[in-house]
A and B are shown apart, each in its own frame.
Chain A
């Protein structure tokens, strides 16, 4: 069989069209495209792709089923390992995972594994036949999961499928965590997230929204009130600011606030939805990670004329996925690299009007292996802006940590947890996702949720 060197492109909205609407950018494969793409898979015996998947999906098997036209079979195969396939198919950085190890990738484009996963997941959601697998008899154990983001949802689903009774505690009014408040509608439609969460509910998982652990209850209270184990997946919910003069001026948002207002609260539909957002003519987004790209593209869709990513290192060091950067570039986001603000300026009413920036050059590599940016003395210049989004990263939210005595933390304030089990310094308390690793990706959090679920199961059964 001849090798087909190029990945089948996925239909998507053109940059000119999509930069002003919140509809999903990538439209997904058709049945024909999916089967054509599945044809490209070599069905390698060793299946190197599988080593790149944090949730251990049997990739060649599900692709084979697509090739044969058995889409229901393909999604069932994925769901043996992954309960959130429509989400993963959209937001996983496949280029660093499964697709990186694809045999085809040595000389050609890898198989579009992510696109195929998305196709079958959407196929099932659209055709309304989402079967719930048969569950084992109830184990009699109860597990509390704190946080309903990717780590918590994955842990909850896996634990439910192992026969445990799971309750998820969510602080916000809808479950989903970063999938709802952080990742924009145009990259991950919220109805897709809620459909996958509905599936998890149908596995028997109870989700309690509007419940802030650390306030209305605590880890110890949960353990004392009948839960046999606790999983903490509270994420990276503490925005970082730079601490430079003028940062509290009006019009300067944390990325968390900017995205939460827009995604979770649907400020883009104001005033039908009551939460407002202010976006001016010229927007600067500080930082160049995925969150920064999301914020920049959101600002365009909210009507900004010009959006600038301002980043103190160079293109090569930008932490965002290549695909996200490309999308931003296509949509007209401008990049001010080797540049960082040092001070914000405002008008008499307190609104930001501009910022003093300084240029950087790259020096020796730092602890992260990336070349350290060094400020160039005397290179200060003024940049006129009327909205700023600070997207330089998030730290661990301290609400649960402060109210859980004996829980060992790292120097960064994240939870110290065993990488192979998620076990913390407290017996029966496990943790995973951004609260352990610091801000990372959806799929890594899901992998951690999966690992912890397995360890929690072993812990419960060893309790006897």
Chain B
């Protein structure tokens, strides 16, 4: 059992959860993820690591209520326990001093971008961060991101804060006006990551995206998380989760994410309050 030491809402339906897992915290690096189960009849879901604290022995994840398990997680509080928590999984971000880099985070995707931006900044990069959300109320980690970047740009779809429009609009402007951008990281909804990859493609700037497909074991055993990269099948759990955004088969990625849409609906309909239903 893994204790939740801190849990707080960051925005409507977006939650921060800090979990005690000292062994995982000792090894976690930016770009990696964990797999957890809420209770004994839960499914295994992957969540990207938003932060780690080696001293306190904790891992922070930030998630949005989208399906059955994330809604269940939302009902848990500090002091409650998760049945299972395993990590750090996947390959860490390749951190080097590239020079000038851009980190793009959309929606809840700002959370995993944060440790990457921090690590890049610590490695000596000039970090331009672009974060966005549908509306101001849903924007998360603005201050944290500002603290780990040289420049922070904000976009909201409805114009309630920062640039009125998409993060890709801002990115395009940055790519046009600034010289020598060595690399772009983008994490967020799949459609956003695809849009970022299409934005950077004509500029020829290498673009790293973090895939978050459906997984089961997270150790390369099942192949549920197959992604097609440059025509080759990769397992996001062990080969990724970061890949070259210009090489991803985005249509396949979107389809595979939606594979269990009907079942998700059934599970939500069958959900009767909190607690474990299998007992």
Contacts and interface: CB of A to CB of B under 8 A. Distances in A.
Interface of A: 171-173, 181, 209-212, 215-217, 237-239, 241, 243, 247-248, 250, 253-254, 256-257, 260-261, 265-266, 269-276, 278, 349-350, 397-399
A237 B222 CA distance: 8
Contact of B41 (A209, A272, A399): A272
Nearest to B221: A237
Contacts of B85: 210
Given A260-B221, A261-B216, A274 B84 contact: no
A254 B223 CA distance: 7
A345 to B, nearest CB: 15
- Closest 7 pairs between A and B when the two form their complex, measured CB to CB: A276-B263, A257-B222, A350-B255, A237-B221, A210-B86, A274-B43, A173-B84
Contact of A250 (B27, B87, B228, B259): B259
B211 to A, nearest CB: 13
A181 B44 CA distance: 14
Given A237-B220, A248-B252, A275-B216, 9 more contacts: A181-B221, A241-B223, A253-B223, A260-B221, A265-B216, A270-B267, A273-B41, A275-B43, A397-B220
A213 B42 CA distance: 23
A42 B34 CA distance: 57
Interface string B244-273: 000000011001100110011011001000
A327 B225 CA distance: 32
Contacts of B251: 350
A216 B87 contact: yes
A217 B23 contact: yes
Nearest to A243: B233
B239 to A, nearest CB: 10
B68 A274 contact: yes
Given A212-B89, A217-B23, A350 B222 contact: no
Interface in B80-98: 83-89
28 contacts: A171-B217, A173-B86, A181-B217, A210-B84, A212-B86, A212-B87, A216-B27, A217-B23, A237-B219, A241-B223, A241-B233, A247-B233, A248-B226, A256-B221, A257-B223, A260-B222, A261-B216, A266-B41, A266-B278, A271-B267, A272-B278, A274-B42, A276-B260, A276-B264, A278-B259, A350-B255, A350-B256, A398-B220
Contacts of B76: none
Contact of B220 (A217, A238, A272, A276): A238
B219 A254 contact: no
Contacts of B267: 270-271, 274, 276
Scoring A238, A256, A270, A271 by chain B CB atoms within 10 A of each residue's CB, the highest score goes to: A271
Contacts of A269: 278
A288 to B, nearest CB: 20
A162 B217 CA distance: 33
Contacts of A253: 223-224
Contacts of B219: 171, 212, 237, 397, 399
B87 A254 contact: no
A256 B41 contact: no
Contacts of A274: 41-43, 68-69, 267
A257 B216 contact: yes
Interface string B4-48: 000000000000000000011011000000000100011110000
Contacts of B221: 181, 237-239, 256, 260, 397
A276 B266 CA distance: 10
Nearest to A394: B221
A224 to B, nearest CB: 14
A272 B89 CA distance: 28
B277 interface: yes
B182 interface: no
A248 B256 contact: yes
Scoring B23, B88, B220, B278 by chain A CB atoms within 10 A of each residue's CB, the highest score goes to: B220
A216 B222 CA distance: 20
Nearest to A256: B222
Contacts of A399: 219-220, 238
A397 B223 CA distance: 12
Scoring A211, A273, A399 by chain B CB atoms within 10 A of each residue's CB, the highest score goes to: A273
